[in-house]
Amino acid sequence: MSNWQEAIPGPGAFAVLQRNFAVWRKLLIPSMLGNFGDPLLYLLALGYGLGHFVGPMDGMPYITFIASGIVASSVMNTASFEGLYSAFTRMNAQHTYAAMLATPLRVSDILAGEVLWTAVKGLISALAIIIVAYFFGAIQGPWVWLSIPVILLAGLSFGSLALVMTALARSYDFFMYYFTLAVTPMFLFCGVFYPLHSLPLFAQDIAQALPLTHAVALLRPLLTGHLPQQVGYHLAVLLLYTLLAYAVAWYLLVRRLLR
């Protein structure tokens, strides 16, 4: 097996990031429409519709509670989708990785470029929601800008996890498992729609092991005018997920692409 120094990406990763960004820019209008449209629907339906019956949650209006949750879950969804379907299309259907490997780019440069891009896309979708929610008065306080590095780190962790799946996948069908077994449970049980403490204890313990819980724990206070508790702990979990998933994805991709 290749030595582990090869896993450390170089500046080539930015060429990969740039490539993905250039493609995204060409499809800007439909892409942005999705980024703004979806959260608007969620906020209207859940914030107003459901919020009317739910009342305040954790001392804030339900729409405010849920806006920050949707920011976090959208980072997860966007980064996961990009790291699964889009990355798999580049690798398997378009043979973009093969083209890149015929240049001085290494597997680690490609992987790091892809992971960075999932984080950037996560940030784009999060910012769209923050903007929409701001006009609903659901985003407030002086710490909103601090959410940007947190969103990027969360994007890196979800993107790396998705790329582990992509490195293993034989077809698109495989990704359904990941959505059903990982993304959807996180969406429902990690504090996006209701506070974690309303879950039974064992479920809270499981939720503590999942990255989305920590993204929500950091983003909800920052987006509603408070400073989060246990910042180091939450950041460390997200960082650990990123590094571990990156290493596994790198190992699997080397095995898949260099044979």
Partner 1 sequence: MLNPAFLDLQQLQKQYGGHPVLRGVTFSVAAGSCFALVGPNGAGKSTTVRAIQGLTPVDGGEICIAGQTLSALGTAGRAKIGVVPQMDNLDPDFTVEENLWTYGRYFRLSKVKIRQRSAELLDFMALSSYARQPITALSGGMQRRLTIARALINAPQLLLLDEPTTGLDPQARHLIWQRLRDLRRQGTTLLLTTHYMDEAERLADQVGIIDQGRILVQDTPQGLISAHIPGEVLELRRLDGHTPDSENWHQPHVAVSERVGDTLICYGQDLQPVMTHFAHDPAYRWLQRPASLEDVFLRLTGRQLREAEQ
Q: Does residue number 9 form part of the binding site for partner 1 (CB under 8 A)? A: no
Question: What's the CA gap between 42 and 49, in Å, rounded?
Answer: 10
In the complex with partner 1, which residue's Cβ is closer, 11 or 59?
11
Place of tokens 């914030």: 47
Q: Does residue number 8 form part of the binding site for partner 1 (CB under 8 A)? A: no
Q: Does residue number 32 form part of the binding site for partner 1 (CB under 8 A)? A: no
Q: Which stretch binds partner 1 (CB under 8 A): 16-24, 156-164, 177-185, 245-253?
A: 16-24
In the complex with partner 1, which residue's Cβ is closer, 29 or 102?
102
Q: Does residue number 181 form part of the binding site for partner 1 (CB under 8 A)? A: no
Q: How many residues bind partner 1, per CB under 8 A? A: 24
Question: What's the CA gap between 216 and 42, in Å, rounded?
Answer: 17
> What is residue 196's DSSP assignment?
G
Question: What's the CA gap between 159 and 242, in Å, rounded?
Answer: 8
Q: Does residue number 234 form part of the binding site for partner 1 (CB under 8 A)? A: no
Q: Does residue number 29 form part of the binding site for partner 1 (CB under 8 A)? A: no
In the complex with partner 1, which residue's Cβ is closer, 15 or 40?
15
Closest C-alpha to 196, from 184, 185, 207:
207
Q: Does residue number 255 form part of the binding site for partner 1 (CB under 8 A)? A: no
DSSP assignment string, 86-130: IHHIIIIIS-HHHHHHTTT--HHHHHHHHHHHHHHHHHHHHHHHH
Q: Does residue number 19 form part of the binding site for partner 1 (CB under 8 A)? A: yes
Q: Does residue number 247 form part of the binding site for partner 1 (CB under 8 A)? A: no
SS3 61: coil
Confirm if 138 and 43 have CB atoms less than 8 A apart.
yes
- Residue from the set 101, 144, 231, 248 that interacts with partner 1 by CB under 8 A: 101
Q: Does residue number 12 form part of the binding site for partner 1 (CB under 8 A)? A: yes
Question: CA 6 → CA 10, 105, 110, 112, 191, distances in Å?
Answer: 9, 11, 12, 12, 38
Positions touching partner 1 (CB under 8 A) are 11-12, 15, 18-19, 22-23, 26-27, 94-96, 98-106, 257-259
